Chain A
Amino acid sequence: MYAFDIKRPRSVEEAVAALADGEAQALGGGQTLIPTLRQRLADPGTLVSLSGIAELKYVRMEGDVLRIGGGTTHAQVAREAAAHYPALASLAGRIGDPAVRNRGTIGGSLANNDPSACYPAGALGSNATVVTGAREIAADDFFQGLFETALDEGEIVTEVRFPVPEAARYEKFIQPASRFALVAVFVARFAGGVRVAVTGASESGVFRWAEAEAALAADFTPEVVRGLTVQAEGMIGDLHGSAEYRAHLVGVITRRAVEGALA
């Protein structure tokens, strides 16, 4: 790793101040950033560790919105969101492995926007709102491409708000070595429509499958998805699977997610 200083703020205010320095980078659970630093793919002058900020760790229902603190671990979400939003809890409970889930955070995952990560699908599929110290960002505006988000330098995710749908399901076809998604789909049915968020498949990162959403809004059954396909062009093709295979899986996994949401 390149050399860095490290700061351990105890409050969001302290963290924001520490991150005002342009060379600083936020460190959540470290499950992604630490390997990245080791490979010298990042070179922050200062690491601002958020893991000591107690006020960022919570799971609360308010009305019909689930509010999760940006520093909440996947393990905590898997446990505490289960009663309120089972599909999201199940998503969190399948990220990585148990040790990773004890450290990785929702804020860290969303800010990183790995094209094969799970939370982006959960957030986009739920029409979630990402809250930072400065503003609120709708999920539709948050994800801006491979490892790119709407966050400014020094902006940290303090909370993520999930409207809880009538029915939802996260279906994940795991890439078994890394345990990331080879292709995964989050389907959620709200009174106002259906959202289908796909991760792992596209070179641009998480996306909404508009065609499937329209068909499912008219008729929420797995059969309506059967005839739909996504193009292989623009899909990730790598040593884990060709673009054609991923494109094929998008349809299959979406159908499974709908079946699961209906169960």
Chain B
Amino acid sequence: MQTTLKINGESWTLDVDPRTSLLDALRHHLDLTGTKKGCDHGQCGACTIILNGRRINSCLTLAVMHDGDEITTIEGLGEPGRLNPMQEAFVRHDGYQCGYCTPGQIMSATGMLDEVSQGWPSHVSASLEGDVPLSREEVAERMSGNLCRCSAYPGIVRAIRETAGEVSE
């Protein structure tokens, strides 16, 4: 089945089995191997990408469902020599150890900061309305879907809060 995906600003027309997940389409049909497969169950967050501005698990959706949608992968944020502020913050704050979950963390954090800027509350927010200060607890709750087995969480949280312009406590 044919589908046209708009990825990092470029359009690609693919012919794939309808059962192909978006993750597999990215990795195997487009050689965009920056997005990682950690569990293929939607539990670990390693496959997080941004779809029409919202962060999602690319293993839990089918490539053929996204004809015409805007997709951003880690490759679309920056490249060696030209990192975006979130990527630079992750480097500065040691937001990784083995690095495997890192693309997913960065994509998820990018989507998350966008949610925050639009005033989305979280379960730990003091109020369900209004601005949300990004405390460590807020960041942790909002990043709860991205597992890091090396537990590089302290660096991940620091990098995210710095990018968000929060003063470190």
Contacts and interface: CB of A to CB of B under 8 A. Distances in A.
B57 A100 contact: yes
Contact of A30 (B1, B54, B62, B129): B62
A94 B123 contact: yes
B129 A83 contact: yes
B122 A93 contact: yes
Interface stretch (A2-10, A109-117, A241-249): A2-10
B16 to A, nearest CB: 11
A114 B116 CA distance: 30
Interface string A124-145: 0000000000000000000000
Contact of B42 (A1, A35, A79): A35
Interface in B1-59: 1, 17-19, 21, 40-43, 45, 48, 51, 54-57
Contacts of A17: none
B115 to A, nearest CB: 7
Nearest to B68: A52
B61 A98 contact: no
Contacts of A83: 128-129
A6 B54 CA distance: 23
A35 B57 contact: no
| Candidate in B51, B62, B122, B142 with the most chain A CB atoms within 10 angstroms | B62
A1 to B, nearest CB: 4
B125 to A, nearest CB: 9
Classify chain A: how many residues form its interface, as a range. 35 or more
Given A6-B65, A8-B67, A99 B57 contact: yes
B136 to A, nearest CB: 17
B18 A75 contact: no
Interface of B: 1, 17-19, 21, 40-43, 45, 48, 51, 54-57, 60-62, 64-65, 67, 108, 111-112, 115, 119-123, 128-129, 142-145
12 contacts: A4-B19, A5-B18, A6-B1, A8-B67, A30-B62, A30-B65, A34-B61, A35-B60, A75-B120, A78-B120, A93-B121, A100-B57
Given A30-B62, A98-B145, 17 more contacts: A3-B17, A31-B42, A31-B60, A78-B121, A79-B121, A83-B129, A89-B128, A93-B121, A96-B145, A97-B145, A98-B112, A98-B144, A99-B108, A99-B111, A100-B60, A100-B145, A103-B57
